[in-house]
Chain A
Amino acid sequence: MMETKGILLAGVGGQGVLRASDILCRVFMAAGLDVKKSEVHGMAQRGGCVTSHVRYGEKVHSPLAKKNDIDVLVSFEQMDTLRYLDYVKESGTVIINTEEIYPPAVNLGEAPYPANVAETVRRFFTKVVPVDAAALALRAGNIRAVNTVLLGALSSCLNLSLGLWEKVLQESFPSKLIGANREAFRLGRGV
């Protein structure tokens, strides 16, 4: 029996973390796998942390991963990557959106924004993928497609056919947004 695997998507309210995890779940379902996800988004629109655990396999019990058990962490914000490292397996992959979103303490000048995040992560993990998702989303034609860029980057860590991804993406966006999102996904996958 295939063991259950876990992906943790984490970011800031408004970045499209939950939409990305919805799409991801649909891809696993389309692949014929069992999947569960759980998230906390009570105050997602208000700039707080948003996380979504996605677990998939033949038969999934817990929607939440335990620490040290996540296969891929997709961090939508650079500094926030450091908040969730203890969830990631030693052999896991850490995808980092290099975008910086300042929390209040940084805005007020009370705390510095952490420097060298990717280097810090590399001290603990060998598979680290920094992505300038905002730039790629902009290049794809929609700055809001950061989440789709990151799904693209995630897709190259998962053994799922490109056709499944394309099909689910097609179903997930209205026609006027699909072009930019398809391109965003492609650019992310190429990272």
Chain B
Amino acid sequence: MEAFAKYPGVYAEWSPNEKVAMEVGIGAALAGARAMVVMKHVGVNVAADPLFTASYTGTNGALVVITADDPSLHSSQNEQDNRHYARFAKIPMLEPADSEEAKAFIKLAFELSEKFDTPVFLRSTTRVSHSKSVVNLEKPLDVEDRTAIRFNTEKFVMVPMNARKRRVVVEKRMQDLRAFAETFPENRIEFNNPDVGIITAGISYHYAKDVFPEYSYLKLGMVHPLPVGLIREFAAQVRKIYVIEELDPFLEEQIRALGIEVTGKEIFPYTGEFDPGIIEQAITGRREAARAIPEIPIPPRPPNLCPGCPHRGLFYVLGKLKVFVTGDIGCYTLSFMKPLEGLHSCICMGASIGMAHGMSKALGEKGRGKVVGVIGDSTFLHSGITPLLNMAYNRSNAVIVICDNRTTAMTGMQEHPATGFTLQGEKTLGVDLAILVKTLGIESVRIVDPYDLKTVRTVLKEELARSGPSVVISRRACVLFKREKSAPRKPFRIDPEKCIGCRLCLGLGCPPIAWKKLENEPGSGTKETKGKGRREGVAVIDRNLCTGCGLCAQLCKSGAITKEKE
């Protein structure tokens, strides 16, 4: 997005959420522009409401919706197959297989959208989105400016009397698209060995080509609607057909419904992404050439909050408070893991607040002072405002913490409506979260610095004891966020003589702090922990990683952790 926004002749912006983005796109298309909205698979769930009816209205200009699916859930909360949305919303869907095709298909998608007066999906998956391959550059098109105000209430006011008529238009359009799909050049047959035919689309095509270059292929560039005639033609020319597709048997079921016998999900996995090896194994039935490399047990390396991460202090306190913490989508979701264990649910963006309210209502007095919802600043602006309004309106006793790290950290420091900057880096209004929250009807709003453990604990306890909803804003910029970087702090060190080996500091799960086992510890009385005999080890800090946040020093009861001197 940051790169796209710099091209001449285009306008781009960050939206607070996908529904807003879709509506902005629909409006721009209605005005005659070529509009594109880009989101991941779960984003389409958020944007589905306007999209389903935009399918009825059509577009005037062009509307292309990119859905980036994530087989294997590399960084997502589910693995939904968004090809179903194309059928569900009655919208055509293209599926590129690599970078070059992604570029070519975008152009085709705009043309389709204009030609058939419909939104068009372009579906990508992780290995198309997060990959790079060689692209041949072309001259940019000279697109004629067709923007204008055009009134057409029968087409754009979707009240029942108009929508019923558009409903018929949608079915007619699908028929036209089916006919178009038959001759669409990106639905192509590569005729080769007639013994085996493979019907596939997207990245699976390349996986299969890698291991079975000699077979015949029907590669579908458009996965909805399907070219029924072309599929029958292909099926008639090959003896055995495999349908290769990640996730759901979307193509397979439709092809079977044509009365064509195929092999699909009985040999290929339903879950997870494919690779050439998975396809090879499924078709040949062979286990991969088993080289005797036994599995060597090594500790896992889960992602962790960074050294100096402002979330760490907050979630350390939450973990100790013995409250239920409904979580949300952000780096802080990682704090469900040991040793912080300060977060207990994660469903989708914005869910933390609604869920905290629901739990609090369901538990009644039992839940008093026991339910906290946490949400990041950008996620709060994505979809936390309405559930917080609901809390103020319907009065529950939960406490909501907005983890305000001043940016969208998890995905790479994108701007949002509270940062004060646009996608292009221009200054704009930055919403004041405290004022916004108060305006929604939350009477008690407190701001804390998550580097100050004692205050965080005190404020959370006070707010939990209060009747009615309240909000705590835990504010400190992400430690990786360059624009708000504070002056470098001196790293801390642990005096091995003073450390009593109590492990309290390790409870922060901070990457620079490690446990060092002591062999042959001399039995000096001064080094004994109370009632626990001699210490088994000490904690040490890797000074190259330590950012000097000082949380560990706040926890240390023996005064062993101090800031390094000049």
Cβ A67 vs Cβ B288 within 8 A: yes
Cβ B513 vs Cβ A83 within 8 A: no
- Expressed in whole angstroms, the minimum distance between the Cβ of B377 and any Cβ of chain A is 17
Chain A CB count within 10 A is highest, among B132, B210, B306, B506, for B132
Q: Flag whether A141 is at the interface (Cβ < 8 A).
A: no
**Also in contact, A47 and B303, with CB within 8 A (given A106-B514, A114-B296):** yes
Cβ A64 vs Cβ B480 within 8 A: no
Q: Give the residues in chain A near B303, CB-CB below 8 Å.
A: 13, 43, 46-48
Residue of A nearest to B542 (CB): A102
Cβ A103 vs Cβ B306 within 8 A: no
Residue of A nearest to B307 (CB): A47
Q: Which of B134, B203, B291, B299 contacts A29 (CB under 8 A)?
A: B134
Question: Which one of B331-339, B384-392, B492-500 is at the A interface?
Answer: B331-339
**Also in contact, A104 and B338, with CB within 8 A (given A35-B134, A61-B209):** yes
Q: Flag whether A66 is at the interface (Cβ < 8 A).
A: yes
- Expressed in whole angstroms, the minimum distance between the Cβ of B270 and any Cβ of chain A is 19
Q: Flag whether A86 is at the interface (Cβ < 8 A).
A: yes
C-alpha gap A49/B211 in the complex (Å)? 27
| Interface bracket on A | 35 or more
Q: Give the residues in chain A near B543, CB-CB below 8 Å.
A: none
- CB under 8 Å from chain A, chain B span 217-269: none
Question: Which one of B105-113, B163-171, B272-280, B549-557 is at the A interface?
Answer: B272-280
Residue of A nearest to B207 (CB): A62
Q: Which of B134, B210, B506 contacts A107 (CB under 8 A)?
A: B506
Q: Give the residues in chain B near A39, CB-CB below 8 Å.
A: 130-131
Cβ B302 vs Cβ A35 within 8 A: no
Secondary structure of the B contact surface, majority rule: loop
Cβ B133 vs Cβ A43 within 8 A: no
C-alpha gap A49/B75 in the complex (Å)? 13
Q: Give the residues in chain A near B203, CB-CB below 8 Å.
A: 62-63
Q: Give the residues in chain A near B130, CB-CB below 8 Å.
A: 38-41
Chain B window 118-162, contacts with chain A (Cβ cutoff 8 Å), 1 for yes, 0 for no? 000000001100111110000000000000000000000000000
**Also in contact, A46 and B288, with CB within 8 A (given A36-B132, A62-B206, A109-B515):** no
Contact residues of B with A, CB < 8 Å?
74-75, 98, 126-127, 130-134, 203, 206-207, 209-211, 275-278, 280, 288-289, 291-293, 296, 298-306, 331, 334, 337-339, 410, 480, 503, 506, 509, 511, 513-515, 517, 537
Contact residues of A with B, CB < 8 Å?
4, 12-13, 22, 25, 29, 34-43, 45-49, 60-69, 79-80, 82-83, 85-86, 90, 102-111, 113-114, 120, 124
23 contacts between A and B (CB under 8 A): A34-B134, A36-B131, A36-B133, A38-B131, A40-B130, A41-B130, A43-B331, A45-B306, A46-B305, A61-B206, A61-B207, A61-B209, A63-B98, A65-B275, A66-B211, A83-B298, A85-B296, A102-B511, A104-B339, A108-B338, A110-B299, A113-B299, A124-B291
Given contacts A79-B299, A107-B514, A108-B515, 14 further A-B contacts (CB under 8 A): A12-B301, A34-B133, A36-B134, A38-B132, A41-B130, A48-B301, A48-B303, A48-B304, A62-B203, A65-B276, A69-B276, A102-B514, A107-B509, A109-B515
